[in-house]
Structure 1
Amino acid sequence: MQAAVSGLNGGKARFGELQAAVSGLNGGKARFRVLQAAVSGLNGGKARFGVLQAVVSVLIGGKAGFGGLQAAVSVLNGGKSRFGVLQAAVRGLNGGKARFRVLQAAVSGLNGGKARFGRLQAAVSGLNGGKARFRVLQAAVSGLNGGKARFGGLQAAVSGLNGGKARFGVLQAAVIGLNGRKSRFGELQAAVSGLNGGKKRDLEGCKPLPAY
Structure 2
Amino acid sequence: MEIGLKSGLRKPKWLVLSLLLIGFLSFHAYHRYCFERRKALVKRLKNAGATVRYTWFGVSSMPAFLRPHLQFINLPVKPRVFNIDANNHQVSDETLHDLERMTYLSFLKLENCNVTDATLERLKGLENIRELNLRGTNITDQGLRHLENKPYLLSINLEQTAVTPATVNRLQSKINQLKENLTSSTQRDKKLVITISNKQSPPEQLPASSVKSD
Same-fold status (TM-score > 0.5): no
* TM-score, scaled to structure 2: 0.31
| Higher share in helix | 1
- Higher Cα radius of gyration: 2
| Higher share in strand | 2
* TM-score, scaled to structure 1: 0.31
